[in-house]
Amino acid sequence: MITKTNRHTSYTIWLFTALVSTQALAAESEPKYEPDHYDSAFEAIDALGDYTAASQQLEQLEDGVRITPLVDDQAGPQRIDFLTTRAAVYAVYRTFVHTDAEQVHVVAYPIRANAGKSPERLDTPTYDFTATRRDANQALNLHTIAYGLDDLVTGHRHNPNAWSYYGHSLLSADDYPGASSPGARVMLDELQFLIEQRSR
């Protein structure tokens, strides 16, 4: 016998299932907005605001950018290495997401803030390489399940440039348990390996 209580419970379950299904369909049908497009790596990175010319963390090169993450007095070698590695990977993927460039020259090294003075350059680590769009895609395909560069940003209406889960995973620290895979060190090592193989 189907009681009034059972009918109410069944209706509640049906209503909840329908609501979830409707929300899922709405999410799938929501258009993905294109990330902002720029003419050069420098313009893209400067406009997005994480590293800027005004903060002395970004400089335009003829064929790319010099990106110099700012570190504080308390930062040890491991932290400095991570921040510099992340900046280098950031420069590569922001370039290929937001421009039509087929390659980008990236120079990355850390700078330390000095009160009342110009930032001091630190020589370790220093990266200097030229990555192609093909290198970036190959590294992405090897270490993530992203379909392509467009998957690195959310494409949400309010901020289509925001990193997605995949974008964040390329820039994460990989020196602690539970770090998002693959991490900046893995990605930079893969990019440098691909660049070396290509130059042979």
CA dist 41 and 92 (Å) reads 9
Q: How high is the mean pLDDT in each 10-residue block of the chain (200 residues)?
A: 49 48 49 92 98 96 97 91 97 98 98 82 96 97 93 93 92 63 92 94
Residue 128: the pLDDT is 98
Residue 73: the pLDDT is 84
Residue at 71: amino acid letter: V
64 close to 107: Cβ distance less than 8 angstroms: yes
Closest CA to 86 of 34, 158, 163, 150: 163
Q: H or E segment at 121? A: strand 120-121
| SS3 category, 67 | strand
CA atoms within 13 Å, Cβ hemisphere of 19 = 6
Please state, as a whole number, how many other Cβ atoms lie within 10 Å of the Cβ of residue 96: 26
**And the tokens for 106?**
């990236």
CA dist 103 and 183 (Å) reads 22
State pTM to two decimals: 0.82
Residue 74: the pLDDT is 86
The total number of residues shown for the chain amounts to 200
